[in-house]
Amino acid sequence: MQLKTKEITYKNEEFIIKKFKYDLQFFPYYNARFNAMAESVRKQATISWPTTPIHDMSDLATNEEDEEEDEHMKNGGSSQGSDSKRSHIDLEILNGKVVVVLGTLFKKMPNQPNILKEVDAEKKLLSLKHADEEVTNFVSKEDRMYLQAGNETMELKGEELKMDKLCTGICVAVKGHINQHGSGFIVEDICHVAIDEVERPLKPVDYYVVIASGLGFSMDMAKNDLLSSSLNLLFELLVGNSILSKDKQITNFIIAGNCIGKNARDEEKDANEEDKLTPLWNKKVQSFTVDAVKLLDKFLCTVGQFLSVDIMPGVLDPCNTLWPQQPMHPCLFPNAYRLDSVLSVTNPHRASYFGVEFFGTSGQNVDTLRSCTALSESTEIMRHLMEWGHIAPTCPDTLPCYPYSTKDPFVLTSYPDIFFAGNQPEFSATSFETPAGKKVQLLAVPAFEDSRIVAMVNLRTLKCEMMAFN
């Protein structure tokens, strides 16, 4: 039994939260995102429309407010509150001229859940009336799109906007003109970011990385014969005893979240509900999640003796839910973490395996985009994330995240070789071609608990294969 050579460079430092501060607001976070992406957006706008003037939204601020303030001061008034007036835009000074404006998109969706609506008595009764109707997509014809930068806001209109494929939080440059027959800005075209590309020569050896998600460990694994046998076949593949891995040198195994089964906590809740009459302080709480983690620990300990394992947290795992999810604590896996080959990493996860850069998530960033856009296919959503230069634009709108104030770790500063997302409805593999011609492989990996499918990536060719254990 010989452990494969380990050549991994981890790049997760930006996702590690060293000191938690929960007294922060999200407004500075959006400003930090725009500040981080404004230069690359401006660069792409210059490339796309070299002859069109570029304006910041503050450049379009009206001078009328200044005149009103002067008149107000002459009458003995104070200047307090005048800053709020300057947050409006004078759409007349560029009326009829085609310009480019930079900012961050804000999509107002009436159907999106809102805590203020829930506390309203009438709307609460209405929601109870339709409680049996599960809404998974909030897109409607009443949606409106705005462009924001600092304290400035203006509404975007026009058929070229393609609102149903955009969401809140995307930093863009819009080309268009002031609406001469109404309010708002008529969009003629839109562009995103220009990202510097890094050339990384591939290894001449056929090494393989296996990516799985949603392994589905639970206390009653023995009763689930299909899942148990599939996990055994996966183990044989990883350690080289399967015909599927014959003549293939598997060096790394990435688990993209949701190691705990989707029904594990429901079973735990149902078992504890039976003891309702017992006082809370005297209940014998059954923790099925603990038993599932113990089984997972044994699995990782065995696999880790043959190859390197990186385990990412998911929405079902015993970990914080705010993005970026921090590594699961080593105390959860006392046996596996004795091995140097088993490492708990963040979600998102970015690392270089034998010179090939992988960047991936446990799938929450892709899933939330399905609720606020008309996009449904996983790799199509991932292609848009590459175009937007941001892997989680829905943070913090529909995807809970830590309230950063000075940076945004989800901004894409360079293209990876492999971009993957776990726990997707089905397997899908395609490529995204960057403006400079580089190809990024997009890989959607379904939950193993439901599909019995994993992905295998050849580090020499970057070819992605589907391995099924049905």
Secondary structure of the chain in HEC code, one letter for each residue: CCCCCCCEEECCHHHCCCCCCCCCCCHHHHHHHHHHHHHHHHHHHHHHCCCCCEECHHHHECCHHHHHHHHHHHCCCCCCCHHHHCCCECCCCCCCCCEEEEEEEEEECCCCCCHHHHCCHHHHHHHHHCCCCCCCCCCCCCCEEEEEECCEEEEEECHHHCHHHCCCCCEEEEEEEECCCCCCEEEEEEECCCCCCCCCCCCCCCEEEEEEECCCECCCHHHCHHHHHHHHHHHHHHHCCCHHHCCCEEEEEEEECCCECCCHHHHHHHHHHCCCCCCHHHCCCCCHHHHHHHHHHHHHHHHCCCCEEEEECCCCCCCCCCECECCCCHHHCCCHHHCCCEEECCECEEEEECCEEEEEECCHHHHHHHHHCCCCCHHHHHHHHHHHCECCCCCCCCCCECCCCCCCCCECCCCCCEEEEEEECCCEEEEEECCCCCEEEEEEEEEHHHHCEEEEEECCCCCEEEEECC
Note whether 354 and 459 are same-domain residues.
yes
Note whether 204 and 167 are same-domain residues.
no
Note whether 151 and 219 are same-domain residues.
no
Task: Give CA angle at 360 (358, 363), nearest 5°.
Answer: 160
Note whether 183 and 207 are same-domain residues.
no
Q: Are 95 and 122 in contact (CB under 8 A)?
A: no
Give the span between the Cα atoms of 389 and 411, in whole angstroms.
Answer: 6
Domain boundary among 191, 226, 245: 191
Note whether 169 and 251 are same-domain residues.
no
Closest listed residue to residue 438, CA positions, set 402, 400, 386, 369: 386
Amino acid at 415: Y
Note whether 425 and 281 are same-domain residues.
yes
Note whether 372 and 335 are same-domain residues.
yes
Q: Are 107 and 145 in contact (CB under 8 A)?
A: yes
85 backbone dihedrals φ, ψ, rounded to 5°: -70, -30
Q: What is the token pair recorded at 120? A: 């309203």
Domain boundary among 164, 191, 218: 191
Q: Are 311 and 8 in contact (CB under 8 A)?
A: no
Note whether 218 and 172 are same-domain residues.
no
Whole-number pLDDT of residue 243: 83
Domain boundary among 191, 222, 248: 191
4 backbone dihedrals φ, ψ, rounded to 5°: -65, 155
In the chain, the number of structural domains is 2
Whole-number pLDDT of residue 218: 85
Burial 127-153 (b: 16+ CB within 10 A, else e): eeeeeeeeeeebbeeebebbbbbeebe
Amino acid at 58: S
427: in domain: yes
Give the model confidence (pLDDT) of 325-383 as tens digits: 999 998 999 999 999 999 999 999 999 999 999 999 999 999 999 999 999 999 999 99
Q: Are 427 and 363 in contact (CB under 8 A)?
A: no
Give the span between the Cα atoms of 418 and 412, in whole angstroms.
Answer: 13
Give the span between the Cα atoms of 254 and 313, in whole angstroms.
Answer: 11
Note whether 245 and 324 are same-domain residues.
yes
The pTM (predicted TM-score) of the whole model is: 0.86
378: in domain: yes
> Which residue ranges of the chain lie beneath pLDDT 50?
1-5, 62-89, 91, 128-132, 280-281, 285
Note whether 272 and 311 are same-domain residues.
yes
146: in domain: yes
Domain CATH code at residue 316: 3.60.21.50
Whole-number pLDDT of residue 405: 87
Q: Which domain holds residue 139?
A: 49-71+86-191
Q: What end-to-end distance do the CA atoms of the chain give, in Å?
A: 28
Whole-number pLDDT of residue 466: 95
Q: How many CB atoms lie within 10 A of CB 25?
A: 9
